[in-house]
Structure 1
């Protein structure tokens, strides 16, 4: 049995043995919780009863008391009955809005202290009235762990009547289990069966599609079905090498080898040079779900809601771990922390503090990918060692990288790169970013389509000469970023440093 389930069972058992009258179990998996409580009852030689608004009280001898459908009547029965044991009350949270029910529940708490009866309130959401928050013990029931999911896989394989080979395309059993972590037992069983029907095997893409539904329900996170590949990114060889070395970092072999869980990477640099594209490509490279945290959705007008939103986002990311959490343009979400108390009552500072603490202390397999264009607006606490595994600086592409970028975008648009003089194009686009080079190709296609012809070397060069690159309009800001990154960040490329050489030449000329 997996550690998580053992912990949940042990916590419930300890509370039962300690005679806690009211235990609130938070879980959407009724059947798993009931089976766990049933095993506790058997081990402790106790009776078990299950109540619901539709059936009343179901006893362990098969009988049913239908007259106890009303919540108040059930609570009265709890105090008056001589039948000792564990009472599971299904979906009791809606009735906690009734002050009479709340008052009666407090009476029950007092009455049961001297008995061998325990009331377990089973609900998918936690909703405890303020009057009872000191009297009710809360247990967050764990989702299925690796061993549980392995048992489900074996059950599905037996049900189809043949020994299926997991991962017919080289995907390991462990990868399939990793992909299913965060699903309930029923969700996992359904999606495994769905995958077998659709593909004839356990397909990770099908399993991840089920996780997408969980993420959408959070309201704060966005699921990205990343289709970008690392080969679609020109240059950045050192960053790619660093990421490739960590592609197996979430496996059990990595833990046994002594490697810690990777925390994340911060990519800073000039806009349009591949930071966001890289974040998406990591998902494809590692075959992990990519979640984008929209900081704007975190902040709410209701007091306390913003802090709860960021906690819920973190819990969602951890529940489907291993996963990648992407924070794009980090400075826009967490800038101005110093003035937070004067502008929003300290909400931004508290949200940022919650995120920082999690980033520093997290042990879950959530890899954080953060990008930033303006490092001057980033809080210094975010840049200290321990928050991220590495900070990479992504500069404007050098000549070799520009050739590669032209080749990628021409091939992407069904043109043969060998038909063009890529070296000449690279020389004529010194100081251009990757997104600007892409726009040159797209602009040339528009012009050619309008003329009724195809793109040529001349049309590409004309499009390049008519564009004013960001390196000219933001020259001072780019130089500032470069100076900052020299001693504080690792270069993402092992290029020749063409831009630095050009800058030195300009200074010498002056």
Structure 2
């Protein structure tokens, strides 16, 4: 269970005057505080601007008349007149703490409450604390429902629908574990709603419904993009060593892995030639592991206001951790942090954002698997490549002969063509030095030619289109050779070559 109830109880018993709980879960916070107050034999009063104080503090004389004071000041006046052994839960009080009168009253009350068995608990979805109150207010970390809380909610739902013959509520132990883990990062209300939605839509508990709820959270943040699972690892040509490495970590997010002593994998950095499948691999990993894929667009992080960029990167990290376990994809990372090396003057904003991101990479405990891709290794800050940032750094080279055959087979098959009608070895030889993206464009270009001619795609169409393409390996031969030389002793190959 969460440690929040225990912390709240300790702080109330220790006579801390004002507590501040930051949480979207107003109902769950109120239930927790009520439970703690019952255990300590304290009277709990709740206040909101719409409902006032409930119940009245002084039942004999009635509450202070609301005609002379605004609602927020009236609430604090009621606190001032209350007897000992009372706790006050003030909901959404943070907007009023910009008023100098409210600040002064809270500071006065803080001195008074220390001498009495009274506590004020402020709740709000965001933290808004004036500097004047920093020494008088204690922040309480009220996390989202943990695994035990989610299991209790699941058991409650199962109990409620156990007599419905139209629902399939049987869960194998592994299914139950995956269902509970996929619900982590949601609030109590969201968990109950998504379980109910899953039963209504699918007549069973469906992980896809939960991922859909997480998609809503990601879209609301405006900083991350959600990608629905489309491609699987089988749709990625070549990269056998990378696939094998990933396949061994498919079950690494389970409780069995934790009990075995394994930490959650941190992530991988994919370096290599443009168009060789790095981005496709990132999408395929999320689909293979059945995890939500979030794309971090570093360009969205940087804002025009002072401090906005730093706040945005922290918010993006918080959103990613809230929907964990998940895959976070940072595409072309070197371009996003180009200013770190000092070539761009932005008053240190890029460096501060980069430092926050690096610290999170090294110290994160949430199961967020980071996949970073980069084309230009010379533009990557050296700190990014230090051991401990990633589990492994893979180099994705141009596909060799067998890999090109596999890529042709994948793209022809995706476009509903009988692969056996084409000579893949001949096509592979004709596209020596082509990247996977260039091979795809050969197939697409040949299809356009065949469609315009009003006939089926032929081998000669593919060969003709291949002759008309100047691959990147020719235009950027020196840069690619330099990248290969750098990666030879510093990275792990993603593909097994014939000469190895």
Q: TM-score, normalised by structure 1?
A: 0.93
- The aligned runs of 1:491-510 (5 Å cut-off) are 491-497=493-499
Question: Does the alignment pair 1:238 with 2:241?
Answer: yes
Shift of 1:83: 4.8
Query: Which one of 327, 338, 344 corresponds to residue 330 of structure 2?
Result: 327
Cα distance in 2, alignment partners of residues 363 and 330 from structure 1: 22
Cα distance in 2, alignment partners of residues 354 and 283 from structure 1: 25
CA displacement 1:90-132 (0-9 Å, x = unmatched): 1111212322222222222222221111000011111112221
Shift of 1:60: 8.8
The 8 Å contact of residues 223 and 289 in structure 1, kept in 2 or not, is answered as yes
The 8 Å contact of residues 292 and 325 in structure 1, kept in 2 or not, is answered as yes
The 8 Å contact of residues 324 and 366 in structure 1, kept in 2 or not, is answered as yes
CA displacement 1:23-65 (0-9 Å, x = unmatched): 1111111121111111211221111111111221112999795
The 8 Å contact of residues 64 and 78 in structure 2, kept in 1 or not, is answered as no
Question: Does the alignment pair 1:106 with 2:102?
Answer: no
CA displacement 1:164-193 (0-9 Å, x = unmatched): 655779961111111110001110000011
The 8 Å contact of residues 268 and 391 in structure 2, kept in 1 or not, is answered as yes
The residue aligned with 1:56 is 52
Cα distance in 2, alignment partners of residues 361 and 264 from structure 1: 13
The residue aligned with 1:372 is 374
The 8 Å contact of residues 22 and 119 in structure 1, kept in 2 or not, is answered as yes
CA separation of 1:94 and 1:474: change in aligned 2, threshold 3 A: same
Shift of 1:138: 1.0
The residue aligned with 1:293 is 296
Q: Please, which moves more after superposition, 326-335 or 148-157?
A: 148-157
Shift of 1:162: 3.5
The residue aligned with 1:306 is 309
Shift of 1:278: 0.4
Q: TM-score, normalised by structure 2?
A: 0.95
The 8 Å contact of residues 270 and 373 in structure 1, kept in 2 or not, is answered as yes
Cα distance in 2, alignment partners of residues 446 and 102 from structure 1: 70
RMSD (Å) for aligned C-alpha atoms: 2.0
Q: Please, which moves more after superposition, 179-188 or 78-87?
A: 78-87
**Which SS does the other structure have where 1:261 is aligned?**
coil
Q: Please, which moves more after superposition, 86-95 or 132-141?
A: 132-141
Can you give the 5+ residue segments of structure 1 that lack an aligned partner in the other structure?
Answer: 499-510
The residue aligned with 1:502 is none
The residue aligned with 2:24 is 28
- The aligned runs of 1:478-489 (5 Å cut-off) are 478-489=480-491
The residue aligned with 2:185 is 182
Cα distance in 1, alignment partners of residues 392 and 65 from structure 2: 64
CA separation of 1:122 and 1:66: change in aligned 2, threshold 3 A: farther
The residue aligned with 2:429 is 427
CA displacement 1:191-226 (0-9 Å, x = unmatched): 011011111111111110000111112221111112
How many residue pairs end up in the alignment? 493
Cα distance in 2, alignment partners of residues 313 and 119 from structure 1: 31
CA displacement 1:316-368 (0-9 Å, x = unmatched): 1111111111100010012231317x711111111111111111111211111
Shift of 1:76: 1.3
The residue aligned with 1:406 is 408
**Which SS does the other structure have where 2:347 is aligned?**
coil
Can you give the 5+ residue segments of structure 2 that lack an aligned partner in the other structure?
Answer: none
Question: Does the alignment pair 1:467 with 2:463?
Answer: no
- The aligned runs of 1:149-164 (5 Å cut-off) are 149-162=150-163
Q: Please, which moves more after superposition, 464-473 or 41-50?
A: 41-50
Shift of 1:133: 2.2
The 8 Å contact of residues 12 and 139 in structure 1, kept in 2 or not, is answered as yes
The residue aligned with 2:318 is 315
CA separation of 1:466 and 1:429: change in aligned 2, threshold 3 A: same
CA separation of 1:405 and 1:65: change in aligned 2, threshold 3 A: farther
